A and B are shown apart, each in its own frame.
Chain A
Amino acid sequence: MIRAVVRYLDERSGTAPFLKKALRYVFPDHWSFLLGEVALYTFVILVGTGIYLTLFFEPSTATTYYTGHYLPLRGHEMSVAYRSAVDLSFKVRAGLLMRQTHHWAADVFVASIVLHMLRIFFTGAFRKPRDLTYYLGLTMLIVALLEGYLGYSLVDDLLSGMGLAIGYSVLMSIPFVGGNLALLLWGAPFPGKPDFESRMYVAHVFLLPILIATLLGLHLFLVAARHHTQFRESRRTTEKKVIGIPTFPGQAPRSLGLFFAVAAVLFLLGGLIQINPIWLWGPYHVAQGTNGAQPDWYLGWLIGALRLVPSFDVTIGHYTLVPNPFWGGALFPLLVFLILYLSPWLERRLTGEYGFRHLLDRPRDAPWRTALGAALFTWVFVVFLAGASDRVFVSFGVSYVGQIWVYRVLVVILPVVALFATRRLCLALQESERLGRIRKQAEAEARGEMPQPE
């Protein structure tokens, strides 16, 4: 059987040598190296469930009236898009499972990319020769954010409409060209031409997924071409040789097992925990809004930033130069991603290390990088938390206005605190390790053993 398959393939494609090499490709084994795989497998689930949803969803803003079984929406005027999303949740068997799994997968997709990125950042895996891989990964993160935003915006429920209004406003606020860009994308002032829905749709189900898949392919190709990084674990792990388990039989069942674990978690969530119950929100109308409208978590840092900026437009005389949403909604994410994109270059400039780096640092081994990273992510995290301050007030009674002022201060202070505290922590850990080694050596000498060379 195996012989037949191998022979068939090799005789027709000549790939036996390649296959052998691929099966014996070396994977360094560490749990944190699997985070990227989680993102990859979540993407697979997203594509699968997404295709299923496209079979039922109708991206049209044409007006219709709901006549289905769900009482509270009976007779409501709504778009065909919203109606078909409600119908695929209620009338299509397993439709709600697929929709919820798709939405949970989107949330988890970005979460796993972020975790993967944190691992890459704090171990210095973005250094040459993997900087290009890292840039591709960051780009995928940006595309994933946009893809998720379009996904929940397509449905045209009350929350998606409010989210689109905010996205439109942020685009509008870009100095000088914002208004023109918004007109180009929406086709007309908000809520835009009816075509806007199909534009979002084609971007969500075709352009952006293809883009992600392409970037993903390149990303994986580069990973394979340069081999994995590895931790400096024993004397055998060096900058010259990579040590690990082969694709087959070692890594294959591990990785496949992880795929099924991802699928299990996502489908269990999709079936058991309700996400974005669009039938409860009702359809969107420009003149309506609901309290505490929030974006999905991965855009929470942007709503936080929008809320923290005090009331001002930058004006010269009577000319409005920079409208308010620009600072929180556009400049802040641009800055964060700019810093992330520049990190490999900055590190080369600051450390003067231009060589190849295959061995990873533990965070404590590179105190400055770790400290700067901690400062950056603390900054983002504080702003992210600020985005939920209204719900914190409703649930816990902590004054919203008070929280906003505290966050405005913390946004400046905490990153600095994180910077110095993290650096101190790294140095302290290094020091305690050094002491531990000396003690061990001393104990060994006291027992009369030969001191082991490090």
Chain B
Amino acid sequence: MSALRRWAIALGVLLLGRKKRQPRFADRPRIVPPGDADPRAEWLVLVLLLFAAAAAVGFIVVYSFNHLAHQTQYLGLALGLAFACVAAALILVAKRLVVTEELEEDYPLPHPTTQEELEQLVEESGDRLTRKRLLLTGAGAAAGAIGAALVVPALSLGPLLDTGGFYETPWRRGVRLVDEHGKLLLLDEIEDGTFYTAYAQRADKELLGSPLVVVRFEPSQLHLPPKRRDWAPGGVVAYSKICTHAGCAVALFRKPTFPVVEPGPALICPCHYSTFDPTRGAKVIFGPAGRPLPQLPLAVDSSGVLRAAGNFSGPVGPSWSGVRSKAPRNAS
């Protein structure tokens, strides 16, 4: 017991004792100017550091739980507070416990003589060369060609020049329309007032050319361009679901309940609100898209299944220079 007490006292003296050591460099002029002690700030720094330690221990404790509600919050709080305490302690040290000196120093100047020497050095090194320009040309050629040779393998990243892929879609005459789960779309099951997402049967759903948005109108409501008169059997129209502006899915169908006072039907992209009129060949009526959604001609087979009657009216997805130069074609 008494041994323990003695140890405790010794530790206390060691930690709490305020002893001024003899400065070792008393014989030299000081580098850092002297300043007054600030015992209160010292105590405050100590308290902050201990808080930081406690918070960090708290972090470890919270971490050690296997299932704890709001664990992320406690972890963040503990670590954040630990850092905050250390930050406060350091700022206090900066402002109250070390001397804030004011030093001055010359801004560096350029070195004109050395600059000239460098120039001279390079020039003199080339003294023995008689066909300097020719050699430089040769070096340039070598460097350029080697550089190009090193860059060329990067072309393996993608088919740089073959942009034909942009025109490919899984559609052609006769391809059936299926829903998300592969179920065939039947003309009779398509109701008006709603929208369906359809895909090409047996095609990858994640290709830009695959998804369609299918909507039905009264045939009298449709005002398709003259060439597309028979593209909408029973008033069912199908457009590419990928916005021609920035490639997002046209996932909004605006359908008025009471058309007398409400805006007309529209297909809308949720990224930049390009708005297309599905009754008029998906013409752009608002927003930034530069061309209509490509329309897919539809036909119905003898069993009532909706099929493509050809490929899209234009290339699918975002535009590029020359996008409309070619017509889309089937990928297979």
Contacts and interface: CB of A to CB of B under 8 A. Distances in A.
B291 interface: yes
Contacts of A93: 63, 71
A193 B158 CA distance: 9
Contact of A324 (B98, B104, B319): B319
A26 B163 contact: no
How many residues of B sit at the interface, in one of the four size bands?
35 or more
B248 A307 contact: no
Interface in A121-176: 162, 165-166, 168-170, 172-176
A173 B319 contact: yes
Residue among A185, A240, A272 facing the most chain B CB atoms (10 A cut-off): A272
A260 interface: yes
A225 B165 contact: no
A210 interface: no
A266 B288 CA distance: 37
Interface stretch (B3-11, B78-86, B222-230): B78-86
B108 to A, nearest CB: 7
B295 interface: no
B273 interface: yes
B242 interface: yes
A253 B76 contact: no
A110 B100 CA distance: 31
Contact of B83 (A175, A253, A260, A318): A260
Contact of A184 (B75, B160, B289): B160
B325 interface: yes
Interface in A239-269: 239-246, 249-250, 252-254, 256-261, 263-269
B204 to A, nearest CB: 9
B251 interface: yes
B83 A292 contact: no
B14 interface: no
A150 to B, nearest CB: 16
B47 interface: no
Interface string B160-202: 1111011010000000000000000000000000000101000
A286 B166 contact: no
A97 B75 contact: yes
Given A93-B63, A186-B158, A324-B245, A319 B251 contact: no
B287 interface: yes
A267 B79 contact: yes
B322 interface: yes
A253 B251 contact: no
Given A173-B318, A189-B165, A289-B248, A267 B83 contact: yes
Contacts of B160: 180, 183-184
Contact of A323 (B71, B107, B165, B318): B318
Given A180-B163, A241-B105, A254-B94, A319 B325 contact: yes
Interface stretch (A5-13, A201-209, A309-317, A336-344): A309-317
A286 B211 contact: yes
Contacts of B163: 179-180, 183
A25 B31 CA distance: 13
Contact of B74 (A173, A263, A271): A271
A97 B76 contact: yes
Contact of B245 (A263, A285, A286, A325): A325
Contacts of B249: 162, 286-289
B248 A227 contact: no
A22 B94 CA distance: 18
Contacts of A263: 80, 83, 87
Given A173-B318, A264-B83, A285-B206, A168 B286 contact: no
B107 A241 contact: yes
Given A93-B63, A272-B76, A286-B242, A172 B320 contact: yes
B288 A310 contact: yes
18 contacts: A93-B71, A100-B72, A165-B248, A165-B318, A172-B319, A173-B319, A185-B158, A189-B207, A227-B105, A242-B107, A254-B91, A257-B93, A259-B87, A264-B87, A271-B77, A310-B288, A315-B324, A319-B324
Interface of A: 24-26, 29, 93-94, 96-97, 100-101, 162, 165-166, 168-170, 172-176, 178-180, 182-191, 193, 199, 225-227, 236, 239-246, 249-250, 252-254, 256-261, 263-272, 285-293, 303, 306-313, 315, 318-325, 328-329, 356, 358, 390, 400-401
Interface of B: 31-32, 63, 71-77, 79-84, 86-91, 93-94, 98-108, 154-155, 157-163, 165-166, 168, 197, 199, 205-208, 210-211, 241-242, 245-252, 269-274, 284, 286-291, 317-325
When A and B form their complex, which 10 residue pairs have the shortest distance between CB atoms, in order from nearest?
A271-B76, A313-B290, A257-B90, A268-B80, A169-B318, A323-B319, A287-B211, A260-B87, A165-B247, A264-B83
Given A271-B74, A289-B251, 8 more contacts: A170-B246, A184-B155, A190-B208, A250-B98, A267-B79, A306-B246, A313-B291, A401-B286
